[in-house]
Amino acid sequence: MSDVASEHPNDNRYREFLQEVGKWEGLWGLFHHGWLLHTHEGQTFCPLFATRDAAQRWGASIRTNHVAGAITLVDVIEHLIPDWQSQNIMAGICPTPALGPVLIRPDKLSAYLLGALKAAMTVQFGRKS
């Protein structure tokens, strides 16, 4: 995660997001006939959150009719990320009413999500020799 951390040195949202979604094996987006896409500084992104409450709060702040929906890591990695890559859509991690999203390329997000899942499983089940 060093490239993301260096781009956002005082922002722990991405690190905390990865820890939570690795443990839960899923994340949250905003859905209404498709996953919400939004724009920040000219870049289209899909907002992603570690918790349902965070997704709902941000959705309310932008006044959308999209509702918080759970997404499994399998769906994100196998379905959404390839679509985002083909359409030049970034992942927008944990935007808040006060802060824009932590933007990350979908291919990097995929690798980080797999790493977070592996780390969570290691904590839960321990290392196998």
Average pLDDT on 119-123 reads: 78
pTM of the entire structure? 0.85
Is pLDDT of 9 > 60? Answer: no
Q: What is the pLDDT of residues 82-111, one digit of tens each?
A: 999 999 999 999 999 899 999 999 999 989
Beta-carbon contacts of 48 under 8 Å, excluding residues fewer than 6 positions away, are 17, 27, 28, 29, 71, 91, 92, 93, 94
CA distance 90 to 105: 5
Question: Angle 39-74-48 (CA atoms, 0-180°, nearest 5)?
Answer: 25
Q: What's the farthest any 2 CA atoms get from each other in the chain? A: 51
- The ranges assigned to domains in the chain are 2-120
Name residue 43's amino acid.
Q
Number of H helices and E strands in the chain, helices first, is 6, 6
The fold of 2-120 is: Trna Endonuclease; Chain: A, domain 1 (3.40.1350)
Confidence of residue 128 (pLDDT cuts 50, 70, 90): low
Torsion of CA 85, 88, 94, 95, to 10 degrees: -170
Per-residue pLDDT at 125: 77
126: helix, coil or strand?
Answer: coil
Average pLDDT over the chain reads 88
